[in-house]
A and B are shown apart, each in its own frame.
Chain A
Amino acid sequence: MTDAAAPTTRQLDTVEVATGTPERELPWSELGLKADEYDRIREILGRRPTGAELAMYSVMWSEHCSYKSSKVHLKKFGELSQETPRGRTLAGIGENAGVIDIGQGYAVTFKVESHNHPSYVEPYQGAATGVGGIVRDILAMGARPVAVMDPLRFGPLDAEDTARVLPGIVAGVGGYGNCLGLPNIGGEVVFDETYLGNPLVNALCVGVLRHEDLHLAHATGVGNKVVLYGARTGGDGIGGVSVLASETFDADGPAKRPSVQVGDPFMEKLLIECTLELFRAGVVNGIQDLGGAGLSCATSELASAGDGGMHVELDTVPLRDSSLSPEEILMSESQERMMAVVEPAHLDGFMAICEKWDVEAVVVGEVTDTGRLVIDWHGETVVDVPPRSVAHDGPTYERPYARPDWQDALQADVAEALARPATGDELRTQLLDVLASPNQADKSWVTDQYDRYVQGNTVMSQPDDGGVVRIDPETNLGVAVATDCNGRFAKLDPYAGAQLALAEAYRNVAVTGGEPLAVTDCLNFGSPEDPAVMWQFEQATHGLKDGCAELGIPVTGGNVSFYNQTGDVAILPTPVVGVLGVVDDVRLRVRSGFAAADEHVLLLGETREELSGSAWAGVVHDHLGGMPPAIDLAAEKALGALLRAAIEAGLLTSAHDLSDGGLAIALAESVIRNGVGAHVELDDPFVELFSESASRAVVTVREDQHEAFMTLAEQHGVVVSSIGRTGGDALEVAGSFSVPAAELEQRWRATLPAVLGHTIPGAIGTTAVQG
């Protein structure tokens, strides 16, 4: 409003004013609320909301915070048994992150979240604050963060917008995570045209705690103090609320706030150390991080999970910008802030620790038993609501869903019918083309920008299949984590695609020697208002739930990201699955490269003629159609048990899972890793190299352990094919072709630097080979 007649002094919209002016129009629609939602708010309050209340409801009832479109489908994860193979989960869905018992008094917590849209708008800060947010979730459980992983998805490597978003996102992930001192132990980098304009930035964090240190987000104990600590509150991340500000206030007031948050990893590092010391000192009753929806979320969630009431004096919140209105303070998504509930007797101790770490801390309120969340602004009440109605009673939608009419045609267009290479030379060329394609090529351009060594406990990281960190240097207990999703499979059949993602992550944990215990998921989809997308979502969640039930591992938490689409084109359905496992002795780790000559190369699992959705079909024929590989979770479980038993018995010299690109890529990567070649004999080289049948791995075994391994495999009911021997300096497929290891490596390494530029001039890959 630039109208000269506009009021020049702001009128505070208090509860009293709202009661007295029932007919005043508020910009509920501009804040994203539907008419029936606004009516419900009026019904809950028995009057119109104040501007501040409207701000809180609108942000807490948004898709992002309320899961209003997904809730009915996510509910089924709650039906899964909360038993892991190592005992009952200590905290599950509904907390900031799930907590799993791994024995020896240790528990781990892990979760993956999306920060897709902010990363498209502002790649560096979007990605950076994505890391920051998930780290605070883990911290809020009382855990020390010990590792991060970042599944990333972009448009085609050579697309103009990829050149804009990829370097910024990678630098943001690195810039923030490196500065926190958290090793980045893996993740994914995937390219597909549907991600152009919709890059996916998912961030996973793992934390460790002792059982007794578990902290939950509860505000209990009437009279206990509510302390806000960490960074000051600024105008970042406010987004939509500026509409409210401009409607309510004068033209000279704050407006047009940046809607992407700006991160300060140094503050977050202080917050981590400070918070862990607060836990150790026993001065924290309940705690909550401030992420999406900022203070609106923290106050309403803490209050509704506790004794039911909280009184906050909002004008005590430390500000970076003194002109912020109460509505903006409530909605600000300024990073690096936490809220704690502290007993009065512990307050001095709490403040002393914050001071030691130069972290600003202020008492902003206290716990009450009124059943109301009351927020005052300079003595006048601007919010008076039942906290549960804000935090948990948001709308629930049963969005219509329907199998899209194109699904049948897509599934009928099978890749098995595509032209196959006619000669050994052609097969050789296709293998190199698939190996050098952006999705299979070396990713060290990305991962070299992440610190994988800090904390000194990284046992495995890229390019191994899963990340492994040591938890206890005395007992060598560790955890393994992997994230996976093949969106092409999920497009062909979302139910099977979700299960294939689960199976792959499960396998990648097993291949490190870990026993899979629990699942976190990041469900990235298009618009929930499109029945076809909603069908994909329904199918994927259903598949994931059924898969977890069969594997006997619970889903302990995760995140949904909708509206990843441009116009009518949605992204490939991308249910990213993270699996966490326990490794009883990390010293037994087995890596993915061939280790020495004259060892047996064994293919575990059954290979069928399954080429639809494969990397071969995509790279060689630009084709996506047919049915994804068959899924047999009993076989997956058996394979996992065999890998674990063989690693524990010290029978394997290398192990690599088979996934995108099938045996071809697994063999090529195994040769490249240490420059140890292999000679293999295959009945039908093309099918055996490029089929992407699930539940398979390639391992190497020394001659003197061959018999023992074969016996073990038989006991586990896993089919073993002896396909050849290691040795030489080339990958040789008998009767078909041979490629020198150096040529494989050159093609594999050249792709990303050729488009993104060399970070170190003249340096071709001295980095991916660790140890």
Chain B
Amino acid sequence: MKIGVVTFPGSLDDVDAQRAVRLAGAEPVALWHGDHDLKGVDAVILPGGFSYGDYLRCGAIARFAPVMTEVVEGANKGMPVLGICNGFQILCESHLLPGALIRNDHRTFVCRDQELVVENAGTAWTRAYEQGQQITVPLKNGEGGFVADAETLDRLEGEGRVVVRYVGANPNGSLRDIAGVTNERGNVVGLMPHPEHAVEDLCGPGTDGLGFFASAVQALAAV
């Protein structure tokens, strides 16, 4: 089972995502932004970072990277795709997910261990969790405020497409405390928190994040 991790210029957490994939029992495959080639992977992760420096809107340039043609095509056919932080922003810019991510309401970068509640344990990336399970994974972002119009938010809530929500104080001004959403089919998930930093007891606040990667392994095994 192969899970690809795309490296864009300015990607930072690509190596971490590869480690998480390995720890979840799959084979990580490095994908290059400039190649029209997914190298036969079964799923794709768009990692965190500052693609192209995020000097325009976050993710706005990365969505035009050559590899995104194949990622969008695969996603539309049901391939599991996970976007973390900058990857979430890229998925929104690519219109694979609704909404947008804007500057934190307190205007500063925030790095903290964040409590989350899993609202939808049915997606390709969350099925290893229990519905309503509370987990702690690091959150680190400058532009992590999830926004969408009220109608879209209502639809997301109604269709169970809010995947994870912040517990306690809202860390970035995200509407309705939304930390992650999915598409209608449940194969594409965007997360602002960083589960790849919670896969080893030694180097993070525990292993609560491993479930996202284990979920994809389960989902792919079930196909």
What is the interface of chain A, defined by CB distance below 8 A to chain B? 171, 174-175, 178-181, 264-267, 269-270, 357-358, 447-459, 470, 473, 586-587, 589, 758-763, 766-767, 769-771
Contact = CB atoms under 8 A, between A and B. Distances in A.
B50 A587 contact: no
Contacts of A586: 202
A766 B113 contact: yes
Given A448-B111, A769-B113, A181 B206 contact: no
B202 A470 contact: yes
Contacts of B60: none
7 contacts: A178-B140, A181-B49, A758-B106, A762-B169, A766-B115, A767-B113, A770-B205
B9 A451 contact: no
A178 B143 CA distance: 13
Bin the interface of chain B by size. Answer: 35 or more
Interface string B94-118: 0000000000001011111111000
Given A171-B109, A269-B50, 11 more contacts: A449-B109, A453-B140, A454-B140, A456-B203, A459-B203, A470-B202, A473-B19, A759-B108, A760-B170, A763-B171, A766-B168
Interface of B: 9-10, 12-13, 15-16, 19, 49-50, 52-55, 106, 108-115, 138, 140, 142, 168-171, 194, 196-197, 199-206
A97 B197 CA distance: 30
Contacts of B109: 171, 174-175, 178, 449-451
B53 A264 contact: yes
Contact of A269 (B10, B196, B202, B205): B10
A358 B9 contact: yes
Q: Which of A448, A760, A763 is the most central at the interface, judged by chain B CB atoms within 10 Å of its CB? A: A760
Given A449-B109, A456-B197, A266 B10 contact: yes
Contact of B12 (A174, A181, A358, A473): A181
A449 B111 contact: yes
A452 to B, nearest CB: 6
B197 A453 contact: yes
A759 B168 CA distance: 14
A264 B114 CA distance: 29
Nearest to B20: A456
A456 B19 contact: yes
B13 A181 contact: yes
A761 B114 CA distance: 15
Contacts of B13: 181, 454, 456
A766 B112 CA distance: 7
Nearest to A449: B109
Contacts of B49: 181
A175 B199 CA distance: 26
A88 B15 CA distance: 32
A660 B20 CA distance: 39
B9 to A, nearest CB: 6
B9 A270 contact: yes
B112 A767 contact: yes
B207 to A, nearest CB: 11
Contacts of B142: 175, 178
A451 B140 contact: yes
A475 to B, nearest CB: 13
Contacts of A449: 108-111
Contacts of B114: 766
B202 A459 contact: yes
Instruction: Give 7 closest A-B pairs by Cβ, nearest first.
Output: A266-B53, A181-B12, A763-B169, A767-B112, A456-B16, A453-B197, A759-B106
Given A171-B108, A266-B55, A456-B15, A179 B10 contact: yes
A769 to B, nearest CB: 7
A266 B203 contact: no
B50 A760 contact: no
Q: Which of B54, B112, B114, B205 is the most central at the interface, judged by chain A CB atoms within 10 Å of its CB? A: B112
A457 B16 CA distance: 9
Contacts of A269: 9-10, 12, 50
Q: Which of A178, A270, A458, A459 is the most central at the interface, judged by chain B CB atoms within 10 Å of its CB? A: A178
B184 to A, nearest CB: 32
Contacts of A769: 113
B113 A770 contact: yes
B106 A760 contact: yes
A437 to B, nearest CB: 24
B169 A761 contact: yes
A681 B25 CA distance: 52
B178 to A, nearest CB: 16
A583 to B, nearest CB: 12
Contacts of A181: 12-13, 49
